[in-house]
Amino acid sequence: MKITAIKVIVASPGRNFVTVKIMTDQGLYGIGDATVNGREMAVVAYLQEHVIPILIGKDAARIEDIWQYLYKGAYWRRGPITMAAISGVDIALWDIKAKAANMPLYQILGGASRDKVMIYQHVGGLTIEQTVEGVIAKREAGHVAIRAQVSIPGLPPIYGTGPSTDQAAGGMVQALPVEEVWSTHKYLPLVPKLFQKLRDAVGWDVHLLHDTHHRLTPIETARLGKDLEPYRLFWLEDPVPAELQESFRLIRQHTTTPIAVGEVFNTIWDCQQLISEQLIDYIRVTSVHAGGVTGLRRIFDFAAIYHVRSACHGPMDVSPVAMGANVHVDRWLPNFGIQEYSGYTEATHEMFPHSWQQEGGFLVTGEAIGHGVDIDEKVAARHPYKAAYLPVARAEDGTMWSW
Ligand code: KDG
Ligand code: MG
């Protein structure tokens, strides 16, 4: 089955998405997600200039060989742009393979290990009271796992706690990134207070999560992890930038609060030490950034040996196509942990008709063949690309901060 053409579709139905559509000489096509939030057009150029021309005429059935050809063959390995391009192609090729087999993707991966996959959604508030109210509402809507964030009193809202930075609300569409203000000193004592109030309000029969967006040092994380132990979090996410994987040893020596890392990782090498030394509990790689279904399968199988579970990244900027690939992997994967699902705008659902569905606090794959997600190109044409950035963070004295 030969690849005859590959299209790259860029559209913004509330968020910018880069979608790869691979056509074959047998009439089957597949679609993949290649979005990198805030750097979308770099992936488009990489695909158009360096990937598409070398794939025309190749056998679409040889997924592994094409993955290796794009990874090893480029000489310049890894990195978010290269790996998003590989991911887009890989997800589309798995879609084609499952369609050719006339099966849903989870079936060709090995069949279902579960019927539905647990998700978590986000609640943010400007105050602890607002966050508590939001968590109660999610709980009442049937959610069994909820991520809770709160603004730092006296500082402007930070990412995930106020409406200002959401592209769907217009916040991210501007010439320059929003500059947020960060204070570790004010943040550290605040978070245990939030979770104490949350446990008082919603009890213990719900999973509570928290995301630190890479802003702490290992010893600060150790302190926070200890202070949060009484509230039994499902996890503390991205406490420290993970470039220095061994720095997580220090965190592990001090706290039993579970740790989740990896939404910015692209390959198994980014998490090899974190996993093999059992320094984390959940690995957050996602199909669109870590090499597609092929990349995820390799990382998650490796993680299984070390009791590390999956937790695919799934914010609004991971498109419904990658979400479809993730949910099929989640359904098959023996060491599945949880799936992030932030939801999408109505226009996004319309642009990507999908067989996966939300049922309360869970996602189900549906039984459509392939990964079950398509793209309506007429709808896409109505939502042109708009340059948009994630915010950046600075300390109160102006120093650039990680996030
Ligand atoms: O594009 C990156 C954001 O979506 C990311 O920062 C959100 O941290 C995030 C998360 O856990 O979803
Ligand atoms: Mg995160």
Residues 293-342: tens digit of each pLDDT: 999 999 999 999 999 999 999 999 999 999 999 999 999 999 999 999 99
Choose the catalytic residue: 213, 289, 354, 383: 213
* Spatial distance between the Cα atoms of 220 and 240, rounded to a whole number of angstroms: 9
Query: Does the structure show a pLDDT above 90 at 170?
Result: no
pLDDT band of 176, cuts 50, 70, 90 = confident
Q: Is the pLDDT of residue 380 over 80?
A: yes
Dist. CA 264 → ligand 2 center (Å): 9
- Using CA atoms, how far apart are residues 289 and 263, in angstroms rounded to an integer? 8
Nearest alpha carbon, ligand 1 atom 7 = 315
CB of 340 closer than 6 angstroms to any ligand 1 atom: yes
Give percent above pLDDT 90 in the chain. Answer: 95
Counting runs of H as helices and runs of E as strands, what totals does the chain give? 15, 16
Residue nearest to atom 9 of ligand 1 (CA): 315
How crowded is residue 233: how many other Cβ atoms within 10 Å of its Cβ? 22
The pLDDT of residue 365 is 98
CA neighbor of 79 nearest in space, from 43, 55, 48, 49: 43
The dihedral through the CA atoms of 127, 133, 162, 238 has a sign that is positive
Give the start-to-end residue ranges of the domains of the chain.
3-103, 109-401
Q: What is the mean pLDDT of the chain?
A: 96
User: One of 71, 120, 159, 187 is an active-site residue; which one?
Assistant: 159
What atom in ligand 1 is closest to the CA of residue 284? 11
- Residue 330 beta carbon below 6 angstroms from any ligand 1 atom: no
b/e 88-125 (16+ beta carbons within 10 angstroms → b):
bbbbbbbbbbbbbeebbbbbbbeeeeeebbbbbbbbbb
Residue bearing the bigger pLDDT, 93 or 154:
93
Model pLDDT, residue 169: 47
CA-313 nearest atom, ligand 1: 12
349 pLDDT more than 70: yes
| Domain spanning 3-103, CATH architecture | 2-Layer Sandwich (3.30)
Direct distance between the N- and C-terminal alpha carbons of the chain, in angstroms, rounded to an integer: 44
Q: Is 185 a residue of the active site?
A: no
* Topology alike, domains 3-103 and 109-401: no
DSSP label of 385: -
333 is written with which tokens?
A: 């994967």
Cβ atoms of 352 and 325 closer than 8 Å: no
Ligand 1 neighbourhood includes 40 CB (under 6 angstroms): no
263 lines ligand 1 (CB under 6 A): yes
CA of 357 to the centre of ligand 1 (A): 21
- Nearest CA residue ID for atom 8, ligand 1: 213
More confident residue, 307 or 167: 307
Which ligand is the nearest neighbour of the Cα of 158?
A: 1
pLDDT greater than 80 at residue 172:
no
For ligand 1, what atom is nearest to the CA of residue 159? 6
Among protein residues, the one whose CA lies closest to atom 1 of ligand 1: 37
pLDDT at 160: 85
CATH numeric code, 109-401? 3.20.20.120
pLDDT tens figures, 127-162: 999 999 999 999 999 999 999 999 999 998 888 887
Instruction: Return the ligand 1 atom nearest residue 147 CA.
Output: 11
What number does the ligand 1 atom closest to the CA of 37 have? 1
Q: Cβ(37) to ligand 1 under 6 A?
A: yes
The pLDDT score that the predictor gives to residue 164 is 47
| Contact between 186 and 154 (Cβ < 8 Å) | yes
Residue 159 annotated in active site: yes
Residue 260 has pLDDT above 50, yes or no: yes
**Residue pLDDT, tens place only, 204-259:** 999 999 999 999 999 999 999 999 999 999 999 999 999 999 999 999 999 999 99
User: If pLDDT is split at 50, 70 and 90, which confidence band does 72 have?
Assistant: very high
Mean pLDDT along residues 45-57: 98
Query: Could you tell me where the DSSP H helices lie in 60-147?
Result: 63-72, 80-100, 105-109, 128-140
Entry pTM: 0.97
What's the gap in Å between 365 CA and the centre of ligand 1? 23
> Which residue's CA is the closest to the ligand 1 atom numbered 10?
315
Between the CA of 265 and the centroid of ligand 2 the distance, in Å, is 12
Whole-number Å distance, alpha carbon 314 to ligand 2 midpoint, is 9
Residue 173 has pLDDT above 90, yes or no: no
Token pair belonging to 237: 């996410």
Q: Residue whose CA is closest, atom 12 of ligand 1?
A: 315
